[in-house]
């Protein structure tokens, strides 16, 4: 591919490959393999579907910096369909999607953003006159790999929060049995989207995941365990009011409702927007946006997490995390109980699930 040769000088390209290796927790010896995979003659084909979404995941994807977003979306990949970015409109746009599903069957990557409304025959989200579930079924069932981006495609997101007026669900509930990899977050971090794509392009398979199909490199560590304010938690140093001295000094936000304990995400280590900052670093608690059901389970957001016995100086973060899990039903992937599932690609296209697969 033209990636390295045309648009990036060699050093930049190798730096990028090394960054990806580090993000994926791979040894440096993998850098040549990554470089080789990204220089194939035919660019890997990607289609990006947006359903009941806010485009925040698309915007986050556009923050990719290494490689630069322009290289990623024009030189590294062939993005054959993305409503927000593509030149074509209307029937000419839909024709590109049909053509990809036909011509590249079993070879393209499908990315899904947004929830899928299943109530009332899907009239709450139609594109080109077709319902979201109808499009998702056709496109995802014939993909080489399916990646969900964001909370909505993971579990339905806020459209699925109480009382879920449109019967919104995430992709894996809409199309039961479909193998997906989930990159939750509201939005997910561009670094993690890029790294997942690079892993797939390099190794031909998705990275290792937890029981919720979230890659371990990005969702394997509790925010609370990697938080720069952790020492203050252990020392019993807490913020009591917004703007107080403790807040200015960067003490622990637990009492202000932080959901860092019980949330698995690499925000603290990779940070956001080229490493500029992250929510806790900017003084606001974590809302737990990478966990299923967080809009219901973690609200009110400013209420501190349930007390656990011995909370405070003596308690370890894992004990706090387990205490939360006991009351939240949805957060199943904690240390010690992670079921590591090795995702395998579909070597062959699968038959579309029957129409009744949609859950309302």
Cβ-based nearer residue to other proteins, 178 or 191: 191
We find the least distance from the C-beta atom of residue 335 to other proteins, in angstroms, to be 25
Whole-number Å distance between alpha carbons of 146 and 269: 26
Query: Is residue 120 part of the contact set for other proteins (CB under 8 A)?
Result: yes
C-alpha dihedral over 110, 200, 148, 289, to 10 degrees? -160
Query: Is residue 6 part of the contact set for other proteins (CB under 8 A)?
Result: yes
Classify the C-alpha dihedral 290-294-295-301 as positive or negative: negative
Query: Is residue 87 part of the contact set for other proteins (CB under 8 A)?
Result: yes
Select the span of 90-98, 175-183, 326-334, 337-345 touching other proteins (CB under 8 A): 90-98
Per CB under 8 A, contacts with other proteins among 161-220 are 161-166, 168, 186-187
Cβ-based nearer residue to other proteins, 318 or 330: 330
Cβ-based nearer residue to other proteins, 56 or 215: 56
Whole-number Å distance between alpha carbons of 83 and 103: 20
We find the least distance from the C-beta atom of residue 111 to other proteins, in angstroms, to be 14
Per CB under 8 A, contacts with other proteins among 94-113 are 94-96
**Of residues 4, 26, 73, 180, which one binds other proteins by CB under 8 A?**
73
Whole-number Å distance between alpha carbons of 194 and 179: 20
152 closest CA partner among 244, 54, 242 = 54
Per CB under 8 A, contacts with other proteins among 11-70 are 42-43, 45, 50-60, 62-65, 68-70
We find the least distance from the C-beta atom of residue 31 to other proteins, in angstroms, to be 23
**Of residues 248, 327, 337, 340, which one binds other proteins by CB under 8 A?**
248
Question: Residue 269, SS3?
Answer: helix
Cβ-based nearer residue to other proteins, 7 or 330: 7
330 closest CA partner among 214, 196, 251 = 214
Do the strands 116-117 and 78-82 form a parallel or antiparallel pair, or are they unpaired? Answer: unpaired
Query: Is residue 247 part of the contact set for other proteins (CB under 8 A)?
Result: yes
Q: Given its phi and psi angles, is residue 40 left (phi above 0), alpha (psi -120 to 50 degrees) or beta?
A: beta
> Residue-wise over 169-206: b if at least 16 C-beta within 10 A, else e?
bbbbbbbeebbbbbbbbbbbbbbbbbbbbbbbbbbeeb
Q: Counting every residue, how long is the chain?
A: 360
We find the least distance from the C-beta atom of residue 176 to other proteins, in angstroms, to be 21
Tokens matching residue 210: 């937890």
We find the least distance from the C-beta atom of residue 84 to other proteins, in angstroms, to be 7
We find the least distance from the C-beta atom of residue 316 to other proteins, in angstroms, to be 23
Query: Is residue 272 part of the contact set for other proteins (CB under 8 A)?
Result: yes
Question: Residue 302, SS3?
Answer: coil
Cβ-based nearer residue to other proteins, 175 or 338: 175
We find the least distance from the C-beta atom of residue 254 to other proteins, in angstroms, to be 15
Do the strands 145-149 and 116-117 form a parallel or antiparallel pair, or are they unpaired? Answer: unpaired
We find the least distance from the C-beta atom of residue 171 to other proteins, in angstroms, to be 16
Whole-number Å distance between alpha carbons of 62 and 273: 10
Question: Residue 57, SS3?
Answer: helix
We find the least distance from the C-beta atom of residue 253 to other proteins, in angstroms, to be 9
Query: Is residue 90 part of the contact set for other proteins (CB under 8 A)?
Result: yes
Cβ-based nearer residue to other proteins, 40 or 316: 40
Cβ-based nearer residue to other proteins, 7 or 315: 7
We find the least distance from the C-beta atom of residue 211 to other proteins, in angstroms, to be 26
User: Alpha carbon 112 to chain centroid distance?
Assistant: 10
Give how many residues touch other proteins by CB under 8 A: 100
Cβ-based nearer residue to other proteins, 104 or 210: 104
Query: Is residue 80 part of the contact set for other proteins (CB under 8 A)?
Result: yes
C-alpha distances (whole Å) from 186 to each of 80, 119, 150, 344 are: 25, 24, 6, 26
Per CB under 8 A, contacts with other proteins among 276-335 are 276-284, 287, 295, 299-303
């Amino acid at each position: 591919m033209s990636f390295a040769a045309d648009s990036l000088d060699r050093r930049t390209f190798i730096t990028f490959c090394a960054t990806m290796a580090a993000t994926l927790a791979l040894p440096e010896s993998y850098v040549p393999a990554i470089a080789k995979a990204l220089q194939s003659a035919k660019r890997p084909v990607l289609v990006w579907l947006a359903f009941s979404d806010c485009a925040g995941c698309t915007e986050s994807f556009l923050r990719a910096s290494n490689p630069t977003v322009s290289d990623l979306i024009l030189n590294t990949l062939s993005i054959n369909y993305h409503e927000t970015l593509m030149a074509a409109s209307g029937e000419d746009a839909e024709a590109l999607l049909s053509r990809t599903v036909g011509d590249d069957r079993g070879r393209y990557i499908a990315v899904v953003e947004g929830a899928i409304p299943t109530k009332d025959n899907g009239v709450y989200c139609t594109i080109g006159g077709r319902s979201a579930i109808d499009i998702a079924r056709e496109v995802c069932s014939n993909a080489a790999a399916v990646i969900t981006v964001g909370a909505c495609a993971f579990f339905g997101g806020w459209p699925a929060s109480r009382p879920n007026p449109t019967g919104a669900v995430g992709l894996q509930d809409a199309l039961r049995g479909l193998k997906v990899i989930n990159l939750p977050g509201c939005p997910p971090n561009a670094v993690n989207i890029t790294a997942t794509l690079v892993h797939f392009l390099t190794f031909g398979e998705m990275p290792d995941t937890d029981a919720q199909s979230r890659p371990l490199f990005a969702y394997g560590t509790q925010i609370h365990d990697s938080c720069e304010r952790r020492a203050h938690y252990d020392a019993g140093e807490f913020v009591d009011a917004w703007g107080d001295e403790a807040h200015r000094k960067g003490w622990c936000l637990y009492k202000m409702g932080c959901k860092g304990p019980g949330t698995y995400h690499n925000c603290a280590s990779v940070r956001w927007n080229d490493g500029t900052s992250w929510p806790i670093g900017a003084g606001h608690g974590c809302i737990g946006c990478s966990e299923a059901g967080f809009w219901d389970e973690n609200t009110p957001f400013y209420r501190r997490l349930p007390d656990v016995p011995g909370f405070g100086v003596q308690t370890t973060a894992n004990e706090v995390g387990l205490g939360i899990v006991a009351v939240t039903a949805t957060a199943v992937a904690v240390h010690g109980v992670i079921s590591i599932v090795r995702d395998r690609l579909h070597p062959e296209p699968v038959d579309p699930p029957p129409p009744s697969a949609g859950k309302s």
